[in-house]
């Protein structure tokens, strides 16, 4: 929720490549009971000896957040993600705990959750009440370097129609409070309850963006720019576009795939902007509906083709996206990696599919948590 002290992205093109970085949020669990553990401050202090300010607390005491540096080479990005996950897992183990990466807690936990101390969190709880009760959800945020806010807003307009496809690809939160929600990404559904969340508006100009922020702040819908929880937003403290639509994903491999896809989306949008190609503008109601459908079905069912307004297999929408992104993926040297990652998801499913597969073996939610613990560093 708060503005990050340092961040994972900056404007820049190394050898024609855009920079990409990520923020990942993890949950701490007791390895015996598998219950959430409110020990984030201890684990962050332990991990901070290696990671410095790239590891921090989040809104609840169950959560730890890490931030990568900006990278132009995906291999370097992947190495850092894996290293950070190992470091946090070691730090947690020294306190007798385990770490999982999932969009929502699996088992039932006390409500409201214990909030991290601080003026901002206390003010949020006082203003938004029960909305903060579900703040134990976790996401993956991707930052891609862009030169300025104006460019970021233009890119955001081009990315909006692809949000449902990204939700389906990253879905990793089927369980909430100890039961299957019937959704692949329950985090997407709960997060959409905030006043400024979900797909961002289409922005006609920088002035439109600034006027809307002023109005939302004046009416109390957000406390400040950090409270803009749209799925895409210009970072309020870095020269990047931040894509916030993804659940916290199980494995480092999943993070790698999403980072490559998000960067290619931004690169493709920049090329379209330079060519004067206008963005596709789906009806807001259809875009919101398509996001819900993606959160419900994930990769295992159907998605909404926003051009035809008809249901099609979700996997087909992913194929269309990757075909659209192929030139940008090739230019960044990521095409083979993305093809390999997509083949893995086609065979094994996304995070939600894998969580449910772990449950089916013995119909045990503790097996789901054990699966997530083992998957963290893969």
Mean pLDDT of 286-312: 98
Given this model, what pLDDT does residue 236 score?
A: 78
Q: Cα dihedral sign for 225, 144, 50, 78?
A: positive
Q: In this structure, is residue 280 part of a structural domain?
A: yes
Q: Is residue 133 part of a domain?
A: yes
Instruction: Indicate whether 7 pLDDT > 90.
Output: no
What pLDDT shows up at residue 8?
56
Give the SS3 label for residue 297: helix
Name the token pair of 11.
């404007």
Other C-beta atoms closer than 10 Å to the C-beta of 182 total 8
Question: Is 6 part of any domain?
Answer: no
Domain count, the chain: 1
pTM value > 0.85: yes
What DSSP element (H or E) covers 232?
Answer: strand 232-234
What whole-number distance in Å separates Cα of residue 247 and Cα of residue 183? 13
Q: What is the pLDDT of residues 340-370, one digit of tens each?
A: 999 999 999 999 999 999 999 999 999 999 9
For strands 63-67 and 55-57, give the pairing: antiparallel
What pLDDT shows up at residue 6?
40
The yes-or-no verdict on residue 3 having pLDDT over 70 is no
Q: Which helix (H) or strand (E) holds 230?
A: strand 229-230
Q: Which helix (H) or strand (E) holds 213?
A: helix 206-218
Residue 239 lies in a domain: yes
Residue 317 lies in a domain: yes
- Closest C-alpha to 159, from 216, 200, 194, 220: 200
Q: Is 66 inside a domain boundary? A: yes
Owner of token pair 């862009």: 146
d(CA 165, CA 186): 15
Question: Directed axis angle between helix 163-170 and helix 252-275, to 10°?
Answer: 170
The CATH number assigned to the domain holding 48 equals 3.30.590.20
Is 2 a member of any domain?
Answer: no
Q: At what angle do helices 252-275 and 74-93 cross, to 10 degrees?
A: 140
pLDDT at residue 287 greater than cutoff 70: yes
Classify residue 145: in a domain, yes or no: yes
User: Residue 93: CB partners within 8 Å, gap ≥ 6?
Assistant: none
The residue segments making up the domain with residue 256 are 13-375
Q: How far apart are CA 175 and CA 106, in angstroms?
A: 5
């Amino acid at each position: 929720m708060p503005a990050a002290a340092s961040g994972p992205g900056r404007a820049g093109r190394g050898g024609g490549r855009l920079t990409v970085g990520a923020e990942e949020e993890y949950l701490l669990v007791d390895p015996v009971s598998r219950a959430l553990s409110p020990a984030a401050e201890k684990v962050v202090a332990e991990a901070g000896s290696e990671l410095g300010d790239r590891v921090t607390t989040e809104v609840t005491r169950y959560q730890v957040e890490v931030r990568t540096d900006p990278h132009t080479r995906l291999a370097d990005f992947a190495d850092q993600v894996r290293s950070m996950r190992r470091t946090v897992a070691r730090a947690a183990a020294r306190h007798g705990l385990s770490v999982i990466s999932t969009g929502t807690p699996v088992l039932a936990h006390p409500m409201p959750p214990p909030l991290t101390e601080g003026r901002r969190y206390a003010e949020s709880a006082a203003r938004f009440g029960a909305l903060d009760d579900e703040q134990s959800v976790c996401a993956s945020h991707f930052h891609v370097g862009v030169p300025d806010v104006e460019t970021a807003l233009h890119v955001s307009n081009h990315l909006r129609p692809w949000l449902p496809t990204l939700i389906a690809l990253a879905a990793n939160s089927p369980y909430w409070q100890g039961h299957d929600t019937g959704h692949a990404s329950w985090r997407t559904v709960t997060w959409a309850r905030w006043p400024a969340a979900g797909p961002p508006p289409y922005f006609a100009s920088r002035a439109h963006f600034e006027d809307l922020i002023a109005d939302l702040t004046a009416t109390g819908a957000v406390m400040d720019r950090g409270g803009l929880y749209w799925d895409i937003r210009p970072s309020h403290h870095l020269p990047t576009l931040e894509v916030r639509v993804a659940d916290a994903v199980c494995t480092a491999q999943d993070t790698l795939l999403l980072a490559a896809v998000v960067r290619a989306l931004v690169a493709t949008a920049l090329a379209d902007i330079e060519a004067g190609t206008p963005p596709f503008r789906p009806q807001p109601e259809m875009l919101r509906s398509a996001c819900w459908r993606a959160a419900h079905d994930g990769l295992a069912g159907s998605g909404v083709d926003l051009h035809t307004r008809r249901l099609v297999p979700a996997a087909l929408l992913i194929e269309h996206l990757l075909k659209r992104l192929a030139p940008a993926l090739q230019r960044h040297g990521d095409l083979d990696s993305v093809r390999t990652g997509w083949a893995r998801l086609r065979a094994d499913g996304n995070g939600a599919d894998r969580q449910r597969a772990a449950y089916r073996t013995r119909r045990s939610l503790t097996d789901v948590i054990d699966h997530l613990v083992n998957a963290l560093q893969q």
